[in-house]
Amino acid sequence: MLMSNFLKNRKSIREYKDKAINEGVMNKLLDIFKELEEESNSKSFNFILFKDGEKVYKLLEGKAGYSGVMIKSPHYIGIRLKEVTKESIVEASYYTEKLMSKLSELNLGSCWINVKDVDKAIKAEALGEDNKNIGYLVAIGHPKAKNPFLEDPFSARFSIEEIVFKNEMGNSISLQELENRGLDDLFYYIRFAPSNFNKQPWRFILNENKITLLLEVDQGRTDLMDAGIIMYYFEEMAKTVGLSNKWKLIEEEPIEYDGKQYRPVGEYNI
C-alpha cells in the first residue's frame, strides 16, 4: 500500500477479537522481529513477544495505559532496550513503528501502551524479571469488526501551518513554497503519525538545506519515542519524493517560542 494511504487510514486499535493469532502468522511476525532488529544499526533493542496476553492483561489491568486503562489483546509485544540512551530510544521507536506498519500488512491491528509508570515488581510478574524495565508495549491482534452504525473514533491533528515553520519557530511557510519544494504531501501525511497522548509534539523548521525536528517540552520533558516514530514516517514519505537521507540526532538548547520550549532533536539534509 502507498505510504500516504497507509498513514491517512492508520489508527490505534483498542478492541480486539478474543482470538489468538495463528501459528503461521505468528512465525511471520517473529521473522519480522528478526529482520528489523538486524536492519537497525545500533542493535540496541529487542522485540519480545508475550503470547499469553491474558496473563499480561490481568496483571496490568488498572495499572498500565492512559489512567490505568489497559488495552485487552490476545498478545503483546514488548520493546526492550539494551541500554537507555537517546539513540536507543529513537532507534527502538523508529523500528517499532515500522513493525506496526508491517503488522497491518498481515491484517493485524496494534496500539502502543505506555507502561512506564507501572511498578517494576508488577512488570516483573507480568513480563518476566528480564523485562521489568520495559517502558512500552504494543497490543496486537485481530481488530473487532466495526459497527457500521457508528462513526469511527477520530483523533484530531494539527494543521501543517501549526507545525511547519521557515527559518525560525513561528515564522509561517506558505503551502505554495512547500509545494514548490515537493514537501507538501510529506507534511500533510506525516501528521497522521501516532504520538503519546496524541500530543503531536513535533515541530519542523525548514532552512535552505536542512529540516530541523523539534519536540515541544512538556512539564520539563520530551518523549523521544515520539521523535523516532515521526522520523520513520518522514523518511518513508521522503523516499516517495526522491529523498533518501536519514535523520541525524542533534544536541541543542531548547528554543523559546510563544511561552513554550521546543527542543531540537534531529536534522535531515535536503
Ligand X SMILES: Cc1cc2nc3c(=O)[nH]c(=O)nc-3n(C[C@H](O)[C@H](O)[C@H](O)COP(=O)(O)O)c2cc1C
Four-point Cα dihedral 141, 7, 239, 167, nearest 10: -130
- Say if strands 248-249 and 210-216 run parallel, antiparallel, or are unpaired: unpaired
Reference 120, options 109, 130, 110; nearest CA is: 130
- Contacting residue, 7, 56, 92, 113, with ligand X by CB under 6 A: 113
Please identify which residue in 73, 110, 131, 196 interacts with ligand X, judged by CB under 6 A: 196
Binding to ligand X (CB under 6 A) within 38-97 occurs at 65-66, 71
Q: Which is nearer to ligand X, 111 or 186 (CB)?
A: 111
Q: Which of 6, 11, 33, 125 binds ligand X (CB under 6 A)?
A: 11
Residues touching ligand X, count (CB under 6 A): 19
Closer CB to ligand X, 113 or 190, in the complex:
113
**Nearer of residues 196 and 212 to ligand X, judged by Cβ:** 196
Between 194 and 264, CB nearer to ligand X? 194
Of the pair 206, 224, the CB lying nearest ligand X is at: 224
Q: Is 111 a residue that touches ligand X (CB under 6 A)?
A: yes
- Residue 213 and residue 262 in contact, taking contact as beta carbons nearer than 8 Å: no
Indicate whether 14 belongs to the interface with ligand X (CB under 6 A).
yes
Name the residue nearer to ligand X (CB basis): 3 or 229: 229
Question: In angstroms, rounded to a whole number, what is the distance separating the alpha carbons of residues 104 and 32?
Answer: 12
Q: Under a CB-based contact definition with an 8 Å cutoff, are residues 17 and 143 in contact? A: yes
Are 233 and 193 in contact, with CB atoms under 8 Å apart? Answer: yes
Q: Which region among 101-109, 121-129, 188-196, 234-242 touches ligand X (by CB under 6 A)?
A: 188-196
Task: Dig out the grid coordinates for 256 from the structure.
Answer: 523559546
Q: Give the interface segment with ligand X, choosing from 25-33, 80-88, 163-171, 192-200 (CB under 6 A).
A: 192-200
- Of all residues in the shown chain, the one whose CB is closest to ligand X is 194
User: Strand pairing partners for 212?
Assistant: 205, 267
Based on its alpha-carbon atoms, the radius of gyration of the chain, rounded to whole angstroms, reads 19
Q: Which three cell numbers stand for residue 205?
A: 523548521
- Phi–psi pair at 12, nearest 5 degrees: -70, 130
Exposed / middle / buried, residue 45 (Cβ in 10 Å: 0-12, 13-18, 19+): buried
Q: Is 114 in the site for ligand X (CB under 6 A)?
A: yes
Residues 70 and 122: beta-carbon distance below 8 Å: no
CB of 157 to ligand X, least distance (A): 8
Q: Could you say which residues in the range 152-171 bind ligand X, by CB under 6 A? A: 155
198 sits near ligand X (criterion: CB under 6 A): yes
Closest to ligand X by CB, 89 or 214: 89
Could you give the CA distance from residue 56 to residue 266 in angstroms, rounded to a whole number? Answer: 35
How near is the Cβ of 195 to ligand X at its closest, in Å? 5
Binding stretches for ligand X (CB under 6 A): 11-12, 14, 65-66, 71, 111-114, 136, 155, 194-198, 225, 229
